[in-house]
Amino acid sequence: MGRLFNVSNRVPLAKTAAPGGLAVGVLAAMRARGGLWFGWNGETTSQEPGEPDITCRDALSYATIPLPQTLYERYYSGFSNGTLWPLFHYFLAGFRYDDQEYAAYEQANALFASRLLPLLAPGDIIWVHDYHLISLGEKLRAQGVSQPIGFFLHIPFPHFEVLRALPTFAQVLRALLAYDLIGFQTETDRESFLGAVRIVLGAQSVGERGIVATGGRTVRTGVYPIGVDVQAVAQSAAKAAGSAPVQRMMQSLVGRRLIVGVDRLDYAKGLLERFQAYRQFLESYPEQIGQVTLLQIAPLGRQKVQAYAQIRDSLEQSSGRTNGRFADADWTPIRYLNRNFPHATLMGFLRAAQVCLVTALRDGMNLVAKEFITAQDPDDPGVLVLSNRAGAACELTEALLINPYDTQGIAGAIQRALTMPLAERRERHATSLATLRANDIHRWHTRFVDDLQAARGRLSSRRGTEPKELTAFRP
């Protein structure tokens, strides 16, 4: 096999925060197979970027470029996170569309393609990650790239009735069909994509096993639920349990039980609904007042997008109301922290908690849910309260599954989790942990890369043919 090129919007060279799911997955693939990680370096410039800056760190290779400031604003804050992110998460109230931002998105993808192209060799394979770079495969094909190119969507893919709100939805579908393999987190996401293809290209375009035939070429689709490194997380959590930050946190609880939430500050995570449900929990089960503490860690992100500033204000007001109503001189019901912690410290917090709340309104997967299960002590495990709108719910069926909009239902699930007998907790945890071991991070990248590598033998008869125009559907 040739080199593996991972491509994502951002290459997180700085080690100032816990890595997200995309970074965890890409790093695992690179450590197993080598290759190079290409993307934005997090810096903006007033000029057109030159050749990529090549960096080697911990035996891994990275190639990064800055982005022009005006392009970054319209591509990243604009179309990527003001259009695609809310649309793909079914938040049409926060969705907007602007022609100039879409043009910047296409321009940014073309810029990535032009800077990646000189680095490629004939035997390489290319793995593109996430919604920022949907058009990258199409741009690479336009420049003559014939190597296998795969795409993995880390977030949900919306049903067609939501997708069609985007004026350029046909262009998005056409861009995706430039890839050889498209991976999704869940079967629901894949079916949403294939359903859109059936409507636009006709039912005959989708064959068995989710293979799309268009323009003389075939595009394969698959479900590849991203996992965690079970052994590494378990070891890290056990070690971190004795660390100074975790010990200080535990001592400050003064024997109270811990409920934990760890999420990037984002409206898709259901944080406001979570705070409302926790207040409902204290109202419905007054015997728990003063006996539990909710530690919510929500690092800031995408602060230049107005919707994120609004949710921050709403969360501060909500936590303030709960604390103002229920707090005592020696007890604060909610500890709400807008800051990053090292990944090891977070794993220690997860191990210390009796309950983990994952109440996403919509989520591609949610690795915090999987990390909580993995971080727990199998002899005395805590309980996961998990949104049925998160991709992780397809695998972690032994969690207490909830509707994230049902505040009373979440309150009841928290109470059930806190009062669940040890035998039941052990049984649920063991089943969930076995699932995570069978579908860990190594199986995720191995399955995807092997399937993409298998595409190499199917390429010779297909190159030079573009997908046909998506004109069958008329809105």
Q: Is 330 a catalytic residue?
A: no
pTM assigned to the model: 0.93
pLDDT at 464 over 60: no
Residue 128 has pLDDT above 60, yes or no: yes
Residue 471 in any domain: the answer is no
Count: domains in the chain: 2
d(CA 99, CA 106): 11
Task: Quickly count: other Cβ atoms within 10 Å of residue 383's Cβ.
Answer: 27
pLDDT in tens, 262-293: 999 998 999 999 999 999 999 999 999 999 99
Alpha helices in 179-285 (DSSP H): 187-201, 230-240, 244-253, 271-284
292 and 191 inside one domain: no
pLDDT tier at 295, thresholds 50, 70, 90 = very high
Unique residue bearing structure tokens 């001189």: 329
Quick check: 308 and 265 in contact, CB under 8 A?
A: yes
| Tokens found for residue 450 | 């092997």
278 and 406 within one domain: yes
Known active-site residue 159: no
Instruction: Give residue 470's pLDDT band: very low, low, confident or very high (50, 70, 90).
Output: very low
Residue 465 lies in a domain: no
Per-range mean pLDDT, top range of 24-38, 194-208, 449-463: 194-208
Is 467 part of any domain?
A: no
Q: Give 33's contacts (C-beta < 8 A, 6+ positions apart).
A: 1, 4, 445, 449
Tell me the CATH number at 291: 3.40.50.2000
179 lies in a domain? yes
Residue 306 covered by a domain: yes
Q: Which of 130, 180, 363, 440 is catalytic?
A: 363
- Per-residue pLDDT band at 215 (split at 50, 70, 90): confident
Question: Are residue 345 and residue 256 in the same domain, yes or no?
Answer: yes
- Residue 202 shares a structural domain with residue 245: no
pLDDT tens digits, one per residue of 420-439: 999 999 999 999 999 999 99
In a domain, 380, yes or no: yes
Q: Are residues 281 and 424 in the same domain?
A: yes
| From 89, 129, 132, 154, active-site residue | 154
Could you list the residue range(s) of the whole structural domain that residue 430 is in?
Answer: 230-438
First to last CA, the chain: 44
The reply to whether 472 falls in a domain is no
Task: Please state which of the ranges 13-22, 183-192, 410-419, 422-431 shows the lowest mean pLDDT.
Answer: 13-22
- Is 86 inside a domain boundary? yes
Q: Tell me: do 287 and 368 sit in the same domain.
A: yes
- Whether 148 and 255 share a structural domain: no
Q: What are the pLDDT digits (tens) for 370-412? A: 999 999 999 999 999 999 999 999 999 999 999 999 999 999 9
State whether 95 and 210 are in the same domain: yes
Please check the confidence at residue 133 and state whether its pLDDT lies above 80.
yes
299-326 pLDDT tens trace: 876 555 566 778 888 999 999 999 999 9
**Do 412 and 423 fall into the same domain?**
yes
Question: 281 and 183, same structural domain?
Answer: no
Looking at the fold, whether 173 and 151 belong to one and the same domain comes out as yes
How far, in Å, CA of 250 to CA of 295, rounded? 11
Least confident of 139-148, 241-250, 456-465: 456-465
Do 310 and 416 reside in the same domain of the chain?
Answer: yes
Beta bridge partners of 297: 262, 337
Nearest Cα residue to 90 out of 192, 167, 13: 192
Q: Which positions ≥6 away from 241 have C-beta within 8 Å?
A: 348, 351, 352
